[in-house]
Structure 1
Amino acid sequence: MAAAAASSTEASHVAPRFHALLLPFPAQGHVIPFMEVAHCLLDRGFAVTFVNTEHNHRRVLAAAVGAAATSAGNRSQLRLVGVADGMDDTEDRDNFVRLNATMKEAIPPHLEALLDGSGGEGQGEVGLGKVTCVVVDVGMAWALDAAKRRGLPSAALWAASAAVLAVLLGAQKLIRDGVIDDDGRPLNLEDNLFRLTESMPPMDGTFMAWNFMGNRDAERMVFHYLTSTARAAVAKADIILCNTFAELEPAVFTTGESPAAAILPVGPLHTGSERRSPSHQHLVGNFWQTADDACLSFLDAQSHGSVVYVAFGSITVMSTEQLQEIALGLEASARPFLWVVRPGLAGKLPAPLLHPAAGHGNCRGMVVEWAPQQRVLAHPAVGCFVTHCGWNSTLEAVRNGVPMLCWPYFTDQFTNQTYICDIWQIGLRISMVPNYVSGIVSKEIILDLLERLLSDDGVKQRVQKLKELAEMNMGADGESARNFNILVEHMTRSMP
């Protein structure tokens, strides 16, 4: 199947000198930071071909309401391309084991054509010229082979924490040290805790990025996939980037012990458009976006620091019983709340929550299917964030100074919870509280934790300090900004 492309109607008549191809792993938590890298490169004068799987390409375009954002200014140098992932339309794209296997076979032929300037309809119309450099997801490290064969400068971006990447790169040492077995299962650990190096924080072997998926065969395959692709990315890419900043994970970046010590932190990458004028606002890779920004008007009507923002990402699954307990806990708090419920799940909530005017009690909230999360977290009315602890959401909360109530679901989210609650101490965890039984967190627990978090001045002070460090890194003289300059210099120093 030919690659499908969407391009601006304002194509440049002169091809930019530098043209980057970006290939993220097909999950929202990866597409979002890659899209921000794309726009950072566009700001530096690059043209960008952004390659999604066809499935996600359609979702991103639909979410962008026609991708109107790509028609402003230098956004005319952005081309969005969709390529086949090898799965049938009826298959579940959340089955990452299956998806990883099919993509590795289906995508390379399209990638080869795109690198040679012959793939994807619309290439000549946009006039971007041949690709001169490549940035791929660490999880797509096999794509680096095509770049290397052409002598193209390349980088690999890790979209999660540097600590998780360090564990993947250090997996063989953990096996030798008897921390995990050959398939990643923890062995004989006291309280399941281990340290990758003496200077790094303790980590829970039960909740590593490949564990806690409910299927041991899948966990084993994910372990081998993640560790092998991480090693391949380090071996093949010229530069390894990570969406983090040094002060957030000092044990990784301040010593030479960590296997990931050589990566360049370039975060927190902006994942919203608040830093640009309205004419330069842009698509950032959300899958559920709609044109409805009514939630921002709702926030404008609330007092400072009063709103509980609840959002569990694009994959997290909860039972009807649990959703109802959350609803009852929010209602009992008598605090205003904004709750993002994925499409199709709102029907599981109590009717008064969806239609408070027809209901009763103290419900003063708003339930939506999508919210502009970066703008929400930046709003002064938001007091805390009930989150699944995805890395993007974690960084967005940090860079906006918002405390977190942690509700991790799988993969790296448990490691992020450890950072939030134990190391940075800017949030509370739900999974280790009294009266947590039968896998259901009661409304009483939710209410208690919200009140504790919102009244903790120490948490507020610590998260404000991290916000200041994030802003410093994002500034022109910040370390993350300087590291991005290193990337740009490498990508532009020679032409193939």
Structure 2
Amino acid sequence: MAMAVIGKRPHVLAVPFPAQGHVMPLMKLSQKIANCGIKVTFVNTEYVHAKVLAAKSEDEEQRGIELTSIPDGLMPEDDRENAFIITESLVRTMPGYLTDLVEKINWENEDQKISCIIADIAIGWILDVAKKMGAEPVAFLPAAAAGMALILHIPKLIEAGNLDINGSMMQSELIDLGDEIPPWKRNELSWSFSSDLKTQKIFFECCLTAEETAHQAKLLLSNTSLEIESSACKLIPKICPVGPLLSSNNSNSSASGGSFWVEDTTCLSWLDNQPVGSVIYVSFGSIAIFTQDQLYELALGLEHSGRPFLWVVRSNLANGSPAEYPNGFQERVANRAKIVEWAPQEKVLAHSSVGCFLSHCGWNSTMEGLSMGVPFLCWPYFADQFHNQNYICDLWKIGLRLNPDENGLRSSHEIKTRIAMLFSDHSIKENSLKVKEMSLESVNESGSSFQNFETFINHLKK
């Protein structure tokens, strides 16, 4: 009698682009996959791997996820904060290192060979490795679906004369892809760098590569939902929205989100002592930097608002250096301010004391803020953040813009005024709670993201 063959367990290899805003959402997705009993190997570059391990607290763990690393091809003295330097090196070296890693894993795991590679859309060319190694090629989109829809329209926009070959807008002042998607204004495209056309061309070429990846991948897993971005999702073949990706949606809530910085949890007990809905939470993510003059204006704006605030001030926020505060500022605000280098953002936004999120509008922050029902003050820094601001202020109506003056500065007066406007606008709070309900519906059992994720897991297990 023939022996029954023991089923082989699926094994997913997840590979993010080496930046905080890419690693964290893919880590959250990987934990969801691992919670379903599927083995996941998560591959960072050695530099990022070391940062993630150093930032982990003792109670964080990844169940079913194996963290591993490959070299990034750079020398120790190279600038790993420069996206172009790191991307050029990864294009050159990553396929070889990844092929070697997959071969090693497959050799050591006869019954758990890599069956699927999930590649960040920013490094989608590694899906060639998936095909070569007999693994299913899946892309991951950590940004809004709207930006991907725009990228897929690039050939038509060039043909119609809306864009030139460098990605600059030609004729119209707007690019409109349809209802329920805010139009892109001039210099608001994901790749726009009006002051540096060389940088813009490099970003534009990366977007063209992402367009190729979207066609090549079997599936495009996305940190959004049909409830939030139905119109944009309809424009993208093979998209599978599974967001919002939140740690709080994971049964293993102690799992690491892949933070590069040690989270200062003392801010949570500080929030416990603040009135409900009173606190301004200020965080610009992992990349944005400001001039010292601008940081002075922000500090004074927060001070003059008269409200309690929690401010995330990275050690490199002032053009790569530690921030300096106006004379006597820290003493004057000591009884109503908390300044930390990094915060457990999801837990902060979920706290009842937080009444406003002053944000750079990165997509992860956008999804976290709207999922917690927190109104926004928008201060986009670059790339897709300007269009995310348009979603927040124009379509969902859950926030206000902070407008720069003729010198490009957000003045302390503008900041103070907008804070007062936001806290007195009840319609924004009401809209925020409606969007929260809509976003959380998507991950409930009857929701589209929940069902999409279940379908993906069942497909992996076949």
Residues 167, 201 of structure 2: 8 Å contact kept: yes
Q: Does 1:478 align with 2:447?
A: yes
In the alignment, the residues of structure 1 paired with residue 169 and residue 375 of structure 2 have an alpha-carbon distance, to the nearest angstrom, of 31
In structure 2, C-alpha distance between the alignment counterparts of 1:65 and 1:402, rounded to whole Å = 27
User: After the TM superposition, which parts of structure 1 deviate over 6 Å for at least 4 consecutive aligned residues?
Assistant: none
Trace 1:69-148 onto structure 2 (pairs within 5 A). Answer: 69-70=60-61, 75-118=62-105, 129-148=112-131
Say which SS state the counterpart of residue 348 (structure 1) adopts.
Answer: coil
Distance 2:250 2:450 in 1: 15
Q: State the partner residue of 1:289.
A: 262
Question: 2:54 and 2:113 mapped to 1: Cα distance?
Answer: 28
Q: 2:425 aligns with which of 452, 456, 462?
A: 456
Instruction: Give the equivalent residue in structure 2 for 1:157.
Output: 140
| Mapping for residues 175-190 of structure 1, pairs under 5 Å | 175-189=158-172
Is residue 31–residue 63 contact of structure 2 (8 Å, CA) maintained in 1?
no
Q: Is the 1:21–1:48 contact (alpha carbons within 8 Å) kept by the matching residues of 2?
A: yes
The separation in 1 between residues aligned to 2:205 and 2:83, in whole angstroms, is: 13
* Conserved 8 A contact 2:227-2:442: no
**Alpha-carbon distance in structure 1 between the residues aligned to 2:328 and 2:335:** 8
- Structure 1 residue 117: Cα displacement: 3.0
Structure 1: 5+ residue stretches without partners: 1-13
Which whole-Å CA distance do the structure 1 matches of 2:201 and 2:407 have between them? 27
On the 8 A contact 1:398/1:466 being kept in 2, the answer is yes
The 1:213–1:155 alpha-carbon spacing in structure 2 relative to 1, beyond 3 Å, is farther
Identity across aligned pairs (percent)?
Answer: 39
Change in CA separation of 1:344 and 1:414 when aligned onto 2, cut-off 3 Å: closer
Matching of residues 203-218 of structure 1 within 5 Å: 203-212=184-193, 214-218=195-199
Q: Does 1:51 align with 2:43?
A: yes
Cα distance in 1 between the residues matched to 2:135 and 2:398: 42
Q: Does the residue aligned with 1:145 lie in a helix, a strand or coil?
A: helix
Deviation at 1:137, TM superposition (A): 0.7
1:457 partner letter: H
Tell me the secondary structure at the aligned position of residue 156 of structure 1.
Answer: strand
| SS of match in other structure, 2:442 | helix
Q: Are the aligned partners of 2:312 and 2:343 in contact in 1 as well (CA < 8 Å)? A: yes
- Deviation of 1:353 after TM superposition, in Å, equals 4.0
**Residues 257-297 of structure 1, C-alpha deviations (whole Å, 9 max, x = no match):** x2x25411111011x357546xx50110111124x311001
> Which one is further off, 367-376 or 439-448?
439-448
Q: Are 1:339 and 2:311 counterparts?
A: yes
Question: Is residue 37–residue 269 contact of structure 1 (8 Å, CA) maintained in 2?
Answer: yes
Q: Which amino acid aligns with 1:487?
A: F
Q: Residue 225 of structure 1 aligns to a residue in which SS?
A: helix
Q: TM-score by structure 1 length?
A: 0.87
Q: Is the 8 A contact 1:386 1:404 kept in 2?
A: yes
Match of residue 193 from structure 1: 174
1:428 to 397, 400, 403: 400
- Residue 49 of structure 2 aligns with an amino acid whose one-letter code is H
With 212-221 and 470-479 compared, the bigger mean Cα shift is at 212-221
Residue 427 of structure 2 aligns with an amino acid whose one-letter code is G
Taking the TM superposition and a 5 Å limit, the aligned residue runs for 1:95-494 are 95-118=82-105, 129-189=112-172, 192-197=173-178, 200-212=181-193, 214-228=195-209, 230-253=210-233, 255=234, 258=235, 260-270=236-246, 272-273=247-248, 275-276=250-251, 280-290=253-263, 292-345=264-317, 346-350=322-326, 352-354=328-330, 359-360=331-332, 364-431=336-403, 436-493=405-462
Can you give the 5+ residue segments of structure 2 that lack an aligned partner in the other structure? 1-5
Give the partner amino acid of 1:312: F
Counterpart CA distance in 2 for 1:29 and 1:213 is 23
Give 1:28 deviation, angstroms.
0.8
Query: 2: CA distance between counterparts of 1:430 and 1:227?
Result: 31
Deviations 1:412-438 (A, max 9, x none): 000101111111111011136xxx131
Aligned residues: 453
Amino acid in the other structure paired with 2:147: V
* Partners of 1:420 and 1:148 in 2: CA distance: 39
CA distance in 1, matches of 2:181, 2:326: 44
Aligned partner of residue 52 in structure 1, secondary structure:
strand
User: Which range moves more in the overlay, 447-456 or 132-141?
Assistant: 132-141
Secondary structure in 1 matching 2:170: coil
Name the Cα RMSD after superposition: 2.2
Q: Cα deviation per residue 1:354-377 (whole Å; 9 max; x = unaligned)?
A: 4xxxx2368611100011000000
**1:242, 1:267 within 8 Å by CA — same for their partners in 2?**
yes
1:84-141 deviations in whole A, cap 9, x for unaligned? 112222222232222211101111122112222359xxx95x9993212111111111
Distance 1:287 1:128, change over 3 A: farther
Contact 1:343/1:369 (8 A) holds in 2: yes
Quick check: 2:25–2:142 contact (8 Å CA) kept in 1? Answer: yes
Aligned to 2:15: 23
